[in-house]
């Protein structure tokens, strides 16, 4: 594609480096059809962002995303901790978006407002990253 600055093969290798560094259990052969479809969709979003130069893997294997619009300060997605998961408990039942934002805020050491103001083109990448950790 015209917007690509990183080769597809390199993006795939970087994705695998991230998965390995974060010790994510993403064995496609063990996934049911729905989980596999969701995983492949999230992987596609992330490798596309990598190809476009918006998403990188740092020396610790953490993903760093630079939003395209609004606040373009890069966001580092640190490996979640127990506190990242507990952040969801502070939200009422049924408030799934608020729970996702709370988790993302904890992982990125920012605040929920950062994500509530984010345009969808950037937010969908952040959600895809977080979803991989929570799978």
Please check whether residue 65 is in contact with residue 77, taking contact to mean a CB–CB distance below 8 angstroms: yes
% of residues, the chain, pLDDT over 70: 94
Q: Which domain holds residue 24?
A: 8-134
* pLDDT of amino acid 133: 86
Which band of pLDDT confidence, cut at 50, 70 and 90, is reported for residue 91? low
* pLDDT of amino acid 36: 87
Please check whether residue 70 is in contact with residue 85, taking contact to mean a CB–CB distance below 8 angstroms: no
2 within domain boundaries: no
| pTM listed for this prediction | 0.87
Please check whether residue 74 is in contact with residue 109, taking contact to mean a CB–CB distance below 8 angstroms: no
* pLDDT of amino acid 81: 84
3 within domain boundaries: no
What whole-number distance in Å separates Cα of residue 6 and Cα of residue 14?
10
% of residues, the chain, pLDDT over 90: 61
92 within domain boundaries: yes
* pLDDT of amino acid 107: 93
Given a cut of 90, is residue 14 above it in pLDDT?
yes
Given a cut of 60, is residue 1 above it in pLDDT?
no
What whole-number distance in Å separates Cα of residue 59 and Cα of residue 68?
23
1 within domain boundaries: no
- Give whole-number Cα distances, 63 to 30, 113, 122, in Å: 24, 20, 14
Domains identified in the chain, total number? 1
What whole-number distance in Å separates Cα of residue 112 and Cα of residue 119?
14
């Amino acid at each position: 594609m015209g917007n690509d600055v990183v080769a597809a093969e390199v993006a795939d290798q970087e994705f695998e480096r991230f998965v390995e560094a974060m010790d994510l259990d993403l064995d496609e052969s063990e996934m049911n059809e729905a989980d596999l479809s969701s995983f492949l969709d999230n992987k596609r979003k992330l490798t596309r962002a990598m190809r476009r130069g918006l998403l990188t893997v740092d020396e610790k294997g953490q993903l760093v995303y630079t939003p395209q619009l609004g606040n373009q300060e890069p966001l580092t997605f640190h490996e979640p901790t127990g506190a990242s998961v507990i952040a969801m408990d502070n939200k009422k039942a049924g408030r799934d978006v608020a729970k996702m934002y709370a988790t993302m805020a904890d992982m990125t050491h920012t605040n929920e407002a950062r994500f509530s103001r984010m345009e969808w083109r950037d937010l969908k990448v952040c959600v895809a990253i977080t979803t991989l950790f929570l799978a």
